[in-house]
Structure 1
Amino acid sequence: MVAQEFTVDLDKPLVFQVGHLGEAYEEWVHQPIVGREGPRFFESDFMESLTRTVWWAIPSIWLPVICYFVLKSVRMGHTLPEVALIVVGGVFIWTLLEYTLHRFLFHIKTKSYWGNTMHYLLHGCHHKHPMDGLRLVFPPAATAILLVPFWNMVKLFSTPSTTPALFGGGLLGYVIYDCTHYYLHHGQPANDVPKNLKKYHMNHHFRVQDKGFGITSSLWDRVFGTFPPSKAAKKI
């Protein structure tokens, strides 16, 4: 794979290679390699281990955290029905955040060395190797860091007693998103709803990569006009 006289060697760690592609990175990263075995990212075994996460680590780590925050709002005086409604609101907020991040951050166009490198780590690797099962969910350490600004954002438009449950709902939305994302790549749905969602997401990977940014649903794609053309959304 040659771009601007630079060849990416897929048998060597990729992260510090892709930046050299320059303007050709955008085309290269959106030519998927379909295979369950993912590439090596780093020479260091420790750094490499930080990039690999089994899917079940996400609910195992974050569901207890969600319960803690939800119960915190209960202890602060809210009834269970009230807390349930707040949590649903948090999940809904996440769906918009999911769409926004995927569209405007994960699909940002880069051409500088470090821009390409950071994009590859964030999302480009997923488009290049979409079936890499150990890089389909977000590493918990990175999630923990990002939860700090998310908590501060939630505090801006909620009361002290509703903030924990709203935050927990947003985190629950994230867990649903990551588990759904893994299932869409590696699951074999038998019912129409998950089947259609899988086709919708695979369409984003293999046909129309600049549309179809929703993962858990196509709601915001329809709202913001990024729903892919019907012809492109047919059977994959």
Structure 2
Amino acid sequence: MSIKSFLNGSADLSPIQQKMVAEAFTVDLNEPLVFQVGHLGEQYQEWVHQPIVSKEGPRLFANDVLEFLTRTEWWAIPLIWLPVVCWCLTKSVEMGHTLSEVALMVVFGICLWTLIETNTAHYLLHGIHHKHPTDGLRLVFPPAAAAILCFPFWNLIRLITTPTTTHGVFGGGLLGYVMYDCTHYYLHHGQPSSDPGKHLKKYHLNHHFRIQNKGFGITSTLWDHVFGTLPSTKTIDKKSS
């Protein structure tokens, strides 16, 4: 049976045949990528961590509307989400909380986000960025996708907070996300000349180009310390390329 026949009927293949297809499949970078990467199987992790450095990234979807929604200028993130953060914090004040209490909620929300930011490891959320790390329009997270993910994030916060603190903590988490995305963009396209920006840039590029299974933090190295994914100082200090 040919590889093409395997791919066309992959749902009916045995596990051994599916493995043969995965091992034989080659991604065509000139075609939309999203529905190709699923055929890589166990080869996906190796493939996605072999970065292609180019100013313009590949096409993800054949559909023009879906493709448009995957490309985002960095400034759209604060422009869209900071007003939502302000609304959430205003709502908390209207519910009777003092500014000090709201500030504590925000800090808690930001800390919650820093934990979530270390867990973005599949193609649509983060894998595309690892494969094409210099594509500026796919460096920040698309607002349409972020809006969808806000619902489970809101429900998660509602489970662990009281009705009057949900807005404040959610606003803090959203603020953490904005800080994350803007910092992430700056680490790739900015040229910090002093710490902490200079260290964070070196730390993050080390994650992309040297040891992809360590150094996941963007705005903080806190959770890399906690989860044991902190790269050695010797590795970080080596020149990233």
Query: Shorter chain as normaliser: what TM range?
Result: 0.7 to 0.9
The answer for the alignment partner of 1:15 in structure 2 is: 34
Alignment of 1:160-199 (within 5 A): 160-199=163-202
Give the letter aligned to residue 40 of structure 2.
L
Question: Counterparts of 2:180 and 2:95 in 1: how far apart (Å)?
Answer: 28
1:63 equivalent to 2:82? Answer yes
The percent identity for this pair of structures is 70
1:51 equivalent to 2:54? Answer no
1:5 equivalent to 2:24? Answer yes
Q: How many residues align?
A: 218
- Of 219, 225, 228, the residue aligned with 2:228 is 225
Question: Counterparts of 1:183 and 1:220 in 2: how far apart (Å)?
Answer: 21
* Structure 1 residue 76: Cα displacement: 0.8
The answer for the alignment partner of 2:96 in structure 1 is: 77
Q: Higher Cα Rg: structure 1 or 2?
A: 2
4+ runs deviating over 4 angstroms: none
Report which structure shows greater RCO (CA 8 Å, sep ≥6): 1
The answer for the alignment partner of 1:113 in structure 2 is: none
- Of 145, 155, 167, the residue aligned with 2:148 is 145
The answer for the alignment partner of 1:91 in structure 2 is: 110
* Structure 1 residue 172: Cα displacement: 0.4
* Structure 1 residue 34: Cα displacement: 0.9
- Of 32, 36, 44, the residue aligned with 2:51 is 32
The answer for the alignment partner of 2:138 in structure 1 is: 135
* Structure 1 residue 82: Cα displacement: 1.8
* Structure 1 residue 231: Cα displacement: 2.3
Show structure 2 runs of 5+ residues with no match.
1-21
Show structure 1 runs of 5+ residues with no match.
107-118
**Comparing 149-158 with 46-55, which one deviates more in the overlay?**
149-158
